[in-house]
Amino acid sequence: MPCTFEGLPFTLTVVDAETRQPLADVHALAEWRIFGPGGRLDGPLMVQDAVSGGDGVLSFPGWGPIQGPPDGLGIGDDPVITLFKTEYEPLLISNGHPPGTRETQRARRFNQSGQTYALASFRGTPDQWLRHLHGVWLGVAVPRNDQHSLQFREAYRNRLRRISSERHKFALDQRRFEGFFWHVDRELKLLEEGHR
């Protein structure tokens, strides 16, 4: 029997790790992950995205109620958030595991709402930057099918467009860089045209 879920609204603030000043134009992708076959975490039940303004604040509205799978949502992945801004190291934020939380619990609260997170400036090689991009380009709610990607098309497209704009930082005649951006373009085509 399906379960009913809803997400409560929340905010967080992003600052520069060195200056402690608010960071604008940080893209946050929040994904509420479901359990799939075999009890493994799988694709998303809900996806939202937000971009910080000059005050560094990211705001996410409440959602639901909606029907979800009987096995529920992954605790700590309800939501899991990735923060991305060019020239900064991406950050992954898990929701944590408050005592007494159940996978089938209806209301999902982001336990760190109102907290401040610091992003560190990136000072590495192109290969290291590519590894960072690999970690956030699709979000973390994978594997997921095309139907899930299209259901949350706008949020995933917003992330992929930002990742795609990073290609100018690489020598695209090198296979490892070229191959990564081929996959980015392929996924963007799905989200923009509805097919690959």
3-state DSSP: the chain helix, strand, coil percent, rounded to 5?
30, 30, 40
Q: What is the CATH number of domain 3-193?
A: 2.60.40.1120
**What is the pLDDT, as a whole number, of residue 161?**
98
- Residue-wise pLDDT tens digits, 4-59: 999 999 999 999 999 999 999 999 999 999 987 788 898 999 999 999 999 999 99
**What is the pLDDT, as a whole number, of residue 20?**
99
Over range 95-108, report the average pLDDT: 90
Model's pTM, two decimal places? 0.95
- Where are the strands (E) in 103-169, listed by range? 107-108, 116-119
Domain ranges of the chain: 3-193
Q: Give, for 56, the enclosing helix (H) or strand (E).
A: none
Q: Above 80 in pLDDT, residue 133?
A: yes
